[in-house]
Amino acid sequence: MDRFRNLLDILKSQCELYSELASVMAIEKETVARWNVDDTLELTKRKDTLVYKEKLLEEARRTIIKKISMDEGRDDMSLTDIIALMDEDGLKREFNQVRTDLKNVMHRLNDENLALKILYRTNIGLVNDFFDRLGITAGSTYGTHGKSRGVNSLLDKRG
């Protein structure tokens, strides 16, 4: 039962961490839309810290699942398999609740990630278009079809 309880604690911690990460990404979305570089860099540092913590929690989760699997004489078990092993209804309910919470926060993370991806691509496109109009483009860049294209910049023309 201790391993089940430890796994539940790790899953709850992961859920909290993912929720915090989604909140940071929502704030980042606003700062990117406002072109606030300093806040964006600060939020990137916060995300890096959260991702590092997540890696530690994920490693702990995998270790406990591996131990539970070995105790059951199986190679690998899913969370559904582990929940099926439990006798205590209260613990089962907690596991099912955390599984639902994790699914919901993962959907939220996916949505925030997609929105950020679109914002960054749009902003990069705007910056590239701006420099293209000024004639200040890197000497060797890739076009939209992966082919190399070269554009002379104003600096090149002036010597």
All residues at 6 or more sequence positions from 102 whose CB lies less than 8 Å from its CB, including other chains: 11, 14, 15, 18
Residue 49, H or E segment: helix 37-71
- Whole-number CA gyration radius for the chain: 24
Q: Which domain holds residue 114?
A: 2-158
C-beta of residue 142 within 8 angstroms of C-beta of residue 149: yes
**Residue 145 carries which DSSP code?**
T
Q: What is the pLDDT of residue 158?
A: 44
All residues at 6 or more sequence positions from 114 whose CB lies less than 8 Å from its CB, including other chains: none
Going residue by residue through the chain (159 aa), what tens digit of pLDDT does each one get? 799 999 999 999 999 999 999 999 999 999 998 989 999 999 999 999 999 999 999 999 999 999 999 999 998 899 899 999 888 889 999 999 999 999 999 999 999 999 999 999 998 888 888 888 888 865 555 556 665 555 544 444 444
Q: What is the pLDDT of residue 130?
A: 86
All residues at 6 or more sequence positions from 32 whose CB lies less than 8 Å from its CB, including other chains: 40, 116, 119, 120, 123
The CATH number that applies at residue 96 is: 1.20.58
Closest CA to 97 of 76, 83, 77: 83
| pTM given for the model | 0.77
How many structural domains comprise the chain?
1
